[in-house]
Each structure stands twice: as C-alpha cells, then as structure tokens.
A and B are shown apart, each in its own frame.
Chain A
C-alpha cells in the first residue's frame, strides 16, 4: 500500500512537470499577445490589463490576412493532392505484387531524409525561369514531394490492416464493384486517410524554408514566412505583441485539431515510422 501511494505521488509530479514543460512557451506567447505595449516587458504570466489591440492590429494589415489565406489555401491544396496520389501508391504497395516495390519504398524513405536546403538554390533558379517563383503552385509542388513519403508510409501501414476480404464478401452478396468499394472499403479506409491528411497538413502548415526562399510578396508568402518579416505597425513600433497575436491565431486551429484527433495522430506517427 505504502509503495503504491508513493508511486502515485511520483507519477503525479511527473505528469505535472510534463504538462508545465509543454505548455509554458504557449502560455507565454498567449500572454504577450494580450498585453498592451507598455506592459510587454513586465515579465508577468497574467497580463495586468487585457487588450485585443494586437489582434486588431494584425487583422487590419493586409500582410497578415494575405499570409493567412495563402497558408490555408496552399496547405489545403497540397494535402488534397498529396493524399490522392499517396492513396493510389499505397494501395498498390500494400495490396498488389509487382517488381520495384522495395525500390519505391526505399526511395520514398530517402526523400523523407532529404535536406531541403540542398534543393532550395536550384528551385529558386528554376522557379524564376518557369514563372513559378512567388506563386501558390511554386510552394505546392515541393510540399507534395516532401509530404508524399510520409503519406505513403502511413497510408500503406493503415491499408495493410484493412480486411479486404469484406469487399469480396459484399460482391458475393450481390453488390456492384462500385457499391462494394463505396460502402465497404471507403468507410474502412477513411480513418487512415484522414489521419494521413492531418499529418500532411501540419507539415505544409509548418514549412518555413521553402516559404521563405520561394516567395517574395503577399502573392504566396505563408504565415511562417510572414512572421519572420513582420515589423509592427510602424517602423518604430515593437512587433512583439503583433507577432505573438499572429502566432496564437495560427496555433489555435492546430492545437484544437491535434487535441481532437490525438489518438489517430499518435497511431499515424508511429505507424509510418515503426512499421515502415
């Protein structure tokens, strides 16, 4: 009895430490975003005066609004295309027998480890001559390349778990091939596809190196790149509050998504890495 009580206390402390460690920077930047400029240096976690001025300021600049639209648009389109292409490939890799399977899987793994900085120079040069520099397509294309390996690995791992015999069974029971696919396979595959989509979206949403090097204006600059070049309302104004507010705005949707789908994300992250 004694040891279990002590164990419980130890676990509670451990859990508390982990929670604090994970949350402190988030709380700090949230607190900064709610402080007026005069109190930004007071070092207190709870603002003495709450203000939404910083939020007003960022939403009144086209710089942030355009970046937000670019981020959402580019990440969504990249996710949709990546998932369609990866689903096709993952179906073949997990269900069909063909030479070149190992080559594709190891090639995808190699691309997952590829250093982005190594191709930034050539892409910068190529995109400028192809007219893709500073466009949505100019970012979507590299995002596809770098999310496909992740998507292919997670989707193959999920697809291997699907009891495909059910499709046959449905056919025997008189379903058409399309019905069997839509009513049996789609519902079974949906969770895996959805999980992979979240992981791909987070990757595209997070990218900084391509967004920074392959864009130059509000045409295609996404939020991470815009944040790096943000300089406050006027030249002399400290941008800390505004950057914090922008950071909170782009963080909240991801945190909500991650918290709602935490089980799936964990399954997806480990399926791709361990089973692959």
Chain B
C-alpha cells in the first residue's frame, strides 16, 4: 500500500485537499484563531471601560477567577444542571426509544411529536416553560397538588427544576433518536434466546440490550453532556442567573459582555474550554475501552 504514489494517486490527493480546504479554513478561522486570541487576552488586564490600562498581567486573571466563589458556584450550578438533565434524558430517551422500537402501532405520531421539541428554538422553549410556571401567566398553579401561589422561578431550587425540565424537554428527542438507532443494531435473536432460557424482560434489557448498546449510549451521553455543560439560552431567558442559578456560560457572558472585561472574561472562557476538553477526554477514553472490550469478546 505504502509504495511510491502513482501520478493518479497524487492527482487524487491534490483534488481532495482542494475540496477540503475551504471548509477546513472556515472551521479553523473561527475556532483556532479566536481561542488563541482568547488565551492572549486572558493574560492581559483588558477592560473596555479603561482601555488605556491594558497591560500584560500573566496568570493573574486565572488566579482571580479560580479564587472567586462566583466561579465555583457557577461550576456547581452547571454540574447540577448537567448531571440531572442528562440523567433524566437518558432514562426518558431510553423509554421513548423502547416504545418506538417495540411499537405495534403509533410509531409515526410518536416520532412526529418528539421532533417538535427538537425543531423549536431554545429561546422559545424557555419562554414557553417560564410562562407556564409564572404565577401571572401560568397554568401550573391551577394543577392539583401544586400550591396556587407557587412561584418556582422566584427561588433557587424551583428555578433549577424549571431549567432542567426545559432542557430535558428540548433535548430528549435527540437522545431518543440516537438510542433508537443503537437499539436497531441489537440482534433480535439474542433476546429471543434469553427468553427461551427463562430470562425476564428486565433481566434481558440490562444483561443483553444495554451492554450491546454501550457505544451508542456513550456517544449520546458525550454529545448531550457537553451540550448541557454549555447551557446558556434557557437560563438567560428564565432567570438570567438570578437566585444563584448562574452557569459557567452565563458567568462568562456577564463578565465579557455586561462588564466588558475582556481579560477576566477570556480567562473564564479558556477555563470553560479546558473543562470541555476534560469531559470529552473522559468520554472518549470510556468509549475506546468499551468498543475495545466488545471487539475482544466477539
């Protein structure tokens, strides 16, 4: 294979590179360059309100961010939202995927219904849920078991419930579709064989279906965890970070855009970037291990 490239292979290479070049340039232009610029900015004292005081300060901005309680509480809030919404999405997404996979009828309407949240603008979804829970415009207070004066968005834990609910509503469809695709890859015969051997439905699900779907589950979890970690739109519309519900993205936005402190804000941005890399690395390692394990077994 690795013999000297023929003229034809050289032509092919050249064509391939030319075809890929524009896309690659556009992708790098707005990610690699700005993130590099963010690192440069993060090492400077750079406040747009006092542009003349711009100077190199080394890692001082990182020190400021990492020693502030605001950053750590934003990390905590983001993790609470990420873990609870992704867990709920996994459970609900799996249930919906199973319903669709096994459906004797009604598969079409379910697919249509779950695609609606996917298509809706996140900002619109956030408004819809905010209005539903707001005592001045909502219906939730009229439900049984809910206090007539309940105002979840006025306090912290209630706000988290509404935010997580909105996130779960909006993104469970994506999770369900990915899991459904994974379910389709599980051979029917295995389940049938286990049934003959006397395994119950729950046992079959956890002992056969889940292990075989592990790569699909991990991919879905990876995408959704990173997505949830970046949560911004929903919080911006529903609380704007009030009641101590600030996520890391909201914190970054406030420092960068509201306080126009580009130095400090860029340090927050770079730290978020590092968190994302860490999460992705963990998942990719887990994914590599699970596919390797599966290949070894079969």
Contact = CB atoms under 8 A, between A and B. Distances in A.
Q: Do A and B bind each other?
A: yes
Interface of A: 7-8, 11-12, 14-15, 18-19, 21-26, 28-29, 32, 40-41, 43-45, 85-86, 88-89, 91-93, 96-101, 104, 107-108, 110-111, 113-126, 141-142, 144-146, 148-149, 152, 202, 205-206, 208-209, 212-213, 223-224, 227-228, 238, 240, 243-244, 247, 250-251, 254-255, 257-259, 262, 265-266, 269-270, 273-274
Contact of B115 (A119, A238, A251, A258): A258
B232 A247 contact: no
Interface string B113-128: 1111111111111011
Contacts of B29: 141, 145
Nearest to B237: A228
A23 B105 contact: no
Contact of A269 (B16, B131, B174): B174
A151 B161 CA distance: 34
B30 A18 contact: no
B121 A89 contact: no
B272 to A, nearest CB: 5
A212 B177 CA distance: 30
Contacts of B216: 274
A238 B41 CA distance: 41
Contact of A121 (B31, B41, B117, B137): B41
A145 B31 contact: yes
A122 B37 contact: yes
Contacts of B289: none
Nearest to B102: A11
A192 to B, nearest CB: 16
Contacts of B71: none
B242 interface: no
Contacts of B214: none
Interface of B: 9, 12-13, 15-17, 19-20, 22-24, 26-27, 29-31, 33-35, 37-38, 41, 95-96, 99, 102-106, 109-125, 127-129, 131-132, 136-139, 141-142, 169, 173-174, 177-178, 180-182, 216, 219-220, 222-223, 226, 229-230, 232-233, 236-237, 248-249, 252-253, 256-257, 262, 265-266, 269-270, 272-273, 276, 280
Contacts of B17: 92, 98, 100
A257 B111 CA distance: 14
B272 A120 contact: no
A128 B139 CA distance: 44
B182 to A, nearest CB: 7
B151 to A, nearest CB: 13
B233 A255 contact: no
A266 B113 CA distance: 12
Contacts of B174: 269
Contact of A113 (B104, B253, B280): B280
18 contacts: A18-B96, A18-B114, A22-B116, A23-B113, A26-B128, A85-B22, A92-B15, A96-B16, A98-B16, A114-B273, A114-B276, A117-B253, A121-B38, A121-B262, A145-B27, A208-B121, A240-B131, A270-B177
Given A22-B116, A107-B27, A118-B270, A28 B139 contact: yes
B115 A274 contact: no
9 tightest A-B CB contacts, nearest first: A145-B30, A25-B128, A119-B34, A98-B16, A122-B34, A92-B19, A270-B181, A258-B119, A92-B16
B30 A142 contact: yes
Contact of B35 (A7, A89, A119, A227): A119
A41 B137 contact: yes
A120 B27 contact: no
Contacts of A142: 30
B233 A209 contact: yes
A206 B233 CA distance: 10
Contacts of A45: 139
A86 B22 CA distance: 9
Nearest to A21: B169
A86 to B, nearest CB: 6
Contact of A25 (B13, B20, B129, B137): B129
Contact of A228 (B222, B236, B248): B236
B12 A96 contact: yes
A61 B220 CA distance: 42
Contact of A12 (B96, B106, B230, B266): B106
Contacts of B257: 120, 124, 212-213
A18 B253 CA distance: 35
Contact of B105 (A11, A18, A152): A11
A255 B24 contact: no
A259 B113 CA distance: 9
B176 to A, nearest CB: 9
Contacts of A18: 96, 99, 110, 113-114
A85 B120 contact: no
